[in-house]
């Protein structure tokens, strides 16, 4: 596969600035801010405070200033001990993620981790204590572990989440954490990027004492002085061995971890590298481990996986920044009570998501039978958390008590938001919206969970269009992390801000999009299913396609997904797409043929796969007869070129049409920025996050390459593949897909 990584151009940056999309300065500027301050107290403790809002990240400036302060504290005769803390109740969120790739080129490997932190701070003749409140993540915890003791607040969050960014813990994290909490726990925390609270950290020995935020710095100062006076042990984490297992056991733990890591993410190298680095420290000593950590860390930082995951980190945070909306200074209104119309799969899932996050919910259905079914679905959803040990029985009862079922709109009068989640029937939705306008108060937000229908049509018979908005959840709504917020040109900024806040409260990542058939996520999804049908008609095997797409990193292939969603839903939504975009559809008859034979997908036990009573899927040799019929109906023959496609060709043929549609969505102004579509593809479609999302991934291959391939396929297999003008323009200019073209329309 051709891999070219076009850097973000000055031009693309300028264009984004003009559209108000770039709210963060360039990475190199970001990495140069913040500082530490030092105050020497009367008792002889130098308190060094990291100050770099909002999370006190370790930028180059912070690190340089930290080193200066530290050297000064060691030099000064009036300083007996040192306390390290963070400003504004946050210890440190780790190394500045903007600074990766901008590190000074001629920096000696290990100068920070070994020469300074290990040889100067940890080996110093004056003790240091970390005073931890809020967060000690990544580099934050690593610096704290270099100190000779750690005092924390009970709720502080401690962890080494670097693997989430495609790198491994640096600054000695891979060596010190196993020595402080034991190898199994350290591996769990690192490989799962799992943080722990202060209380647990205390039990594990990662922190030495728990105190309230008010007492934190004073306690840390006393502790540091007591170490200096030898009233408390002067531990150097790197040299502790009491928590390490013997060599044989250590090898066994590492072996099991390798198997698990490979099973969880076969395409990822960095978890295995992390295990290798930990192993090096156990087999050859911590110093060798530190050196391997430096070398491996440098290599991983350059990897495409890390670049992709770092992009996703910022892209996720950028989705809730909407120019001319979130910068207007509007305060989100309190949403305490929500009402849901329709207790089907979506309605009950949404109700579950809301009560899980402590909101009062009224669920409305048309009769007792449907209402009972809806409430039972919510109960089953909540019970699944209890079964998995993620909720106590008490909590279950508490959450359930927030839900009440109704058959009319009486109790809607004091609802702050209503979410309509009935079947996709325009007339029914119009009637419901008229009723809602009558019953709800004049500030109530009126949202619809439609996945395809134009919002203007739904609200046509009301005079409250400024309060109408789409809240498109993905099934199962209490599990899927994405919320597509659809706005029309009438939706008020206040209502958008309210919904963004609601998304945050129920722990969903929002993307704000414009109004059209399928909005952003389903628009990208349509070509995914269609191209699979096309490839099968032209001779590719159903199960090979699914296998290749799963290997690429999708949770399942397009056919297994169609089975899961159910053919009925697929056919209904497809119709909307055919109507709106007839010029670029490939109409495979495969699903319709199978539907006629009562194969409807997983729910009926028979779809593209056969399902046993445990819902385990196995291929069905009979599928061939449906494929042949579909091929005949399409009037196409097996194509030798298609049958010879390599795995990487198949991946490109399946995903380039998705990229093409994403470009249209961006060009039409349905999505605000390419990175929103990256987040949407990851959270709504399951596109592998370590590839950065569809647009980032396509950019890594180059717009010109994507364009040329689509153009060649469109000659052989028709309009479905024709590259759109946005993509063509990017290819001509040699620009990246993330740069919004001049004159882009906006529906936002």
Ligand X SMILES: C[C@H](O)CC(=O)SCCNC(=O)CCNC(=O)[C@H](O)C(C)(C)COP(=O)(O)OP(=O)(O)OC[C@H]1O[C@@H](n2cnc3c(N)ncnc32)[C@H](O)[C@@H]1OP(=O)(O)O
Closer to ligand X by CB, 169 or 684: give it.
Answer: 169
Residue 138: helix, strand or coil by DSSP?
coil
Indicate whether 95 belongs to the interface with ligand X (CB under 6 A).
yes
Chosen residue from 3, 10, 42, 54 binding ligand X by CB under 6 A = 54
Indicate whether 96 belongs to the interface with ligand X (CB under 6 A).
yes
Q: Which residues of 461-489 are buried (b: 16+ CB within 10 A; e: fewer)?
A: ebebbebbbbbbbbebbbebebbbbbbbe
How near is the Cβ of 314 to ligand X at its closest, in Å? Answer: 6
Chosen residue from 47, 55, 129, 562 binding ligand X by CB under 6 A = 55
How near is the Cβ of 59 to ligand X at its closest, in Å? Answer: 8
Indicate whether 161 belongs to the interface with ligand X (CB under 6 A).
yes
Give how far Cα 132 sits from Cα of 39, 152, 236, 297, Å. 17, 5, 18, 26
Return d(Cα 640, Cα 628) in angstroms, integer.
16
Q: By rule CB under 6 A, what count of residues binds ligand X?
A: 24
How near is the Cβ of 174 to ligand X at its closest, in Å? Answer: 9
Return d(Cα 128, Cα 453) in angstroms, integer.
61
How near is the Cβ of 298 to ligand X at its closest, in Å? Answer: 11
Indicate whether 162 belongs to the interface with ligand X (CB under 6 A).
yes
Clarify whether 719 is annotated catalytic: no
DSSP string covering 481-496 = -EEEEE--SSS-HHHH
How near is the Cβ of 220 to ligand X at its closest, in Å? Answer: 21
How near is the Cβ of 83 to ligand X at its closest, in Å? Answer: 21
Which strands make up the sheet holding 81-86, listed edge to edge? 35-40, 45-51, 81-86, 128-132, 149-152, 209-210
Indicate whether 21 belongs to the interface with ligand X (CB under 6 A).
no
Q: Where are the alpha helices (DSSP H) in 229-365?
A: 247-264, 270-284, 286-301, 304-318, 345-356
Indicate whether 196 belongs to the interface with ligand X (CB under 6 A).
no
Question: Interface mask (CB under 6 A) for ligand X, residues 299-318, using x and -?
Answer: ---------------x--x-
Phi, psi of 196 (to 5 degrees): -125, 160
Indicate whether 86 belongs to the interface with ligand X (CB under 6 A).
no
Return d(Cα 220, Cα 85) in angstroms, integer.
9
Indicate whether 172 belongs to the interface with ligand X (CB under 6 A).
no
Closer to ligand X by CB, 311 or 664: give it.
Answer: 311
Which of 53-61, 342-350, 364-372, 523-531 is the region at the interface with ligand X (rule: CB under 6 A)?
A: 53-61
Indicate whether 420 belongs to the interface with ligand X (CB under 6 A).
no
Phi, psi of 717 (to 5 degrees): -125, 10
Query: Residue with the closest Cβ to ligand X?
Result: 138
Indicate whether 289 belongs to the interface with ligand X (CB under 6 A).
no
Q: Which residues of 704-729 are buried (b: 16+ CB within 10 A; e: fewer)?
A: bbbbebbeebbeebeebbbbbebbbb
Return d(Cα 513, Cα 679) in angstroms, integer.
13
If 0-12 CB within 10 Å is exposed, 13-18 middle and 19+ buried, where does residue 215 land?
Answer: middle
Indicate whether 461 belongs to the interface with ligand X (CB under 6 A).
no
Does the bond joining 54 to the residue before it have cis omega, within 30 degrees of 0? Answer: yes
Q: Which residues of 137-166 are buried (b: 16+ CB within 10 A; e: fewer)?
A: bbbbbbbbbbbbbbbbbeebbbbbbbbbbb
Closer to ligand X by CB, 65 or 98: give it.
Answer: 98
297: phi > 0 → left, psi -120 to 50 → alpha, else beta; which?
A: alpha
Indicate whether 94 belongs to the interface with ligand X (CB under 6 A).
yes
How near is the Cβ of 136 to ligand X at its closest, in Å? Answer: 10
Return d(Cα 363, Cα 342) in angstroms, integer.
7
In 31-125, the DSSP E strands lie at 35-40, 45-51, 81-86
Indicate whether 171 belongs to the interface with ligand X (CB under 6 A).
yes
Question: Interface mask (CB under 6 A) for ligand X, residues 127-146, using x and -?
Answer: --------x-xxx--x----
Closer to ligand X by CB, 140 or 539: give it.
Answer: 140
Which of 11-19, 49-57, 218-226, 277-285 is the region at the interface with ligand X (rule: CB under 6 A)?
A: 49-57
The dihedral of CA 165, 170, 174, 180: what is its sign? negative
Indicate whether 170 belongs to the interface with ligand X (CB under 6 A).
yes
Indicate whether 165 belongs to the interface with ligand X (CB under 6 A).
yes
Strands 509-513 and 609-611 come out as: unpaired
How near is the Cβ of 493 to ligand X at its closest, in Å? Answer: 19
Indicate whether 169 belongs to the interface with ligand X (CB under 6 A).
yes
Closer to ligand X by CB, 139 or 539: give it.
Answer: 139
Residue 452: helix, strand or coil by DSSP?
coil
Closer to ligand X by CB, 165 or 275: give it.
Answer: 165
If 0-12 CB within 10 Å is exposed, 13-18 middle and 19+ buried, where does residue 365 land?
Answer: buried
DSSP string covering 596-636 = HTT--BGGGTBSSEEE-TT--EEE-TTHHHHHHHHHHHHT-
How near is the Cβ of 141 to ligand X at its closest, in Å? Answer: 8
How near is the Cβ of 74 to ligand X at its closest, in Å? Answer: 23
Indicate whether 601 belongs to the interface with ligand X (CB under 6 A).
no
How near is the Cβ of 31 to ligand X at its closest, in Å? Answer: 9
Indicate whether 24 belongs to the interface with ligand X (CB under 6 A).
yes
Closer to ligand X by CB, 49 or 174: give it.
Answer: 174
Given the residues 122, 162, 661, 704, select the one marked as catalytic.
162
Closer to ligand X by CB, 321 or 544: give it.
Answer: 321
Task: Report how far apart the first and last C-alpha atoms of the chain are (Å, whole number).
Answer: 36
Strands 337-341 and 417-420 come out as: parallel
Clarify whether 188 is annotated catalytic: no
**Which tokens belong to 436?**
């809602």
Indicate whether 506 belongs to the interface with ligand X (CB under 6 A).
no
**Which tokens belong to 528?**
């995914």
Given the residues 11, 39, 142, 704, select the one marked as catalytic.
142
Indicate whether 97 belongs to the interface with ligand X (CB under 6 A).
yes
Closer to ligand X by CB, 8 or 226: give it.
Answer: 8
- The binding site for ligand X (CB under 6 A) comprises 24, 54-55, 57, 93-98, 135, 137-139, 142, 161-162, 165, 169-171, 173, 314, 317
Active site positions, annotated: 142, 162
């Amino acid at each position: 596969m051709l891999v070219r990584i076009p850097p973000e151009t000055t031009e693309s940056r300028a264009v984004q600035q003009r559209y108000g999309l770039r709210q963060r300065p360039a990475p190199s500027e970001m990495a140069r801010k913040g500082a530490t301050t030092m105050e020497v107290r009367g008792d002889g403790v130098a308190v060094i405070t990291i100050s770099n809002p909002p999370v006190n990240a370790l930028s180059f400036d912070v690190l340089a200033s930290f080193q200066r302060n530290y050297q000064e504290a060691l030099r000064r005769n009036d300083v007996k001990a040192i306390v390290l803390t963070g400003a504004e109740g946050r210890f440190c969120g780790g190394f500045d993620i903007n600074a990766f790739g901008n590190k000074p080129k001629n920096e000696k490997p290990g100068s920070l981790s070994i020469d300074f932190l290990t040889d100067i701070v940890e080996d110093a003749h004056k003790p240091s204590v970390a005073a931890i409140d809020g967060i000690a993540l990544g580099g934050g915890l690593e610096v704290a572990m270099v100190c000779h003791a750690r005092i924390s607040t009970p709720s502080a969050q401690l962890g080494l989440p670097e693997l989430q960014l495609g790198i491994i813990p640096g600054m000695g994290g891979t060596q010190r954490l196993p020595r402080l909490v034991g190898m199994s726990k350290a591996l769990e925390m690192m490989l799962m990027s799992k943080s722990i609270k202060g209380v647990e950290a205390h039990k594990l020995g990662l922190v030495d004492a728990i105190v309230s935020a008010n007492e934190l710095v004073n306690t840390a100062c006393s502790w540091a002085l007591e170490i200096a006076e030898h009233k408390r042990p002067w531990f150097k984490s790197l040299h502790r061995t009491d928590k390490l297992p013997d060599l044989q056991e250590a090898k066994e733990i590492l072996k099991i971890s390798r198997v698990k890591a490979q099973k969880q993410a076969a395409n990822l190298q960095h978890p295995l590298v992390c295990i290798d680095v930990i192993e090096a420290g156990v087999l050859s000593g911590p110093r060798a481990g530190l050196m391997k950590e430096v070398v491996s860390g440098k290599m991983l930082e350059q990897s495409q996986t890390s670049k992709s995951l770092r992009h996703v980190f910022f892209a996720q945070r950028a989705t809730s920044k909407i120019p001319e909306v979130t910068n207007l200074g509007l305060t989100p209104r309190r949403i305490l009570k929500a009402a849901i119309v329709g207790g089907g799969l979506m309605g009950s899932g949404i109700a579950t998501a809301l009560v899980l996050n402590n909101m009062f919910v009224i669920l409305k259905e048309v009769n007792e039978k449907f209402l009972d079914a809806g409430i039972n679905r919510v109960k089953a959803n909540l019970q699944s958390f209890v079964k998995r040990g993620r909720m106590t029985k008490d909590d279950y009862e508490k959450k359930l008590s927030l839900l009440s079922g109704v058959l009319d709109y009486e109790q809607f009068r004091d609802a702050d938001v209503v979410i309509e989640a009935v079947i996709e029937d325009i007339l029914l939705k119009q009637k419901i919206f008229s009723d809602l306008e009558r019953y709800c108060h004049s500030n109530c937000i009126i949202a619809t969970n439609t996945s395809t229908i134009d919002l203007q049509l739904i609200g046509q018979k009301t005079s409250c269009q400024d309060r109408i908005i789409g809240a498109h959840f993905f099934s199962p709504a209490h599990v899927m992390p994405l919320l597509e917020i659809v706005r029309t040109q009438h939706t008020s900024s206040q209502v958008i801000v309210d919904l963004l806040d609601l998304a945050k409260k129920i722990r969903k990542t929002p993307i704000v999009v414009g109004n059209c058939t399928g909005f952003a996520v389903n628009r990208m999804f349509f070509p995914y299913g269609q191209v699979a049908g096309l490839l099968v008609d032209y001779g590719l095997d159903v199960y090979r396609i699914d296998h290749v797409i799963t290997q690429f990193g999708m949770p399942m292939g397009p056919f297994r997904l169609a089975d899961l969603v159910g053919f009925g839903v697929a056919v209904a939504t497809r119709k909307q797409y055919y109507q709106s975009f007839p010029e670029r559809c490939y109409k495979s008859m495969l699903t319709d043929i199978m539907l006629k034979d009562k194969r409807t997908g997983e729910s009926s036990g028979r779809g593209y796969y056969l399902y046993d009573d445990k819902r385990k899927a196995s291929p069905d040799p009979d599928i061939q007869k449906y494929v042949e019929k579909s091929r005949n109906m399409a009037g196409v023959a097996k194509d030798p070129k298609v049958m010879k496609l390599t795995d990487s060709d198949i991946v490109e043929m399946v995903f380039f049409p998705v990229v093409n549609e994403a470009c249209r969505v961006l060009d039409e102004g349905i999505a605000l920025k390419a990175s929103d579509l990256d987040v949407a593809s990851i959270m709504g479609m399951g596109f592998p996050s370590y590839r950065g999302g569809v647009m980032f991934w396509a950019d890594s291959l180059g717009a010109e390459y994507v364009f040329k391939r689509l153009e060649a396929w469109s000659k052989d297999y028709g309009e479905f593949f024709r590259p759109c003008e946005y993509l063509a323009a990017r290819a001509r200019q040699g620009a990246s897909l993330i740069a919004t073209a001049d004159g882009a329309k906006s529906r936002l």
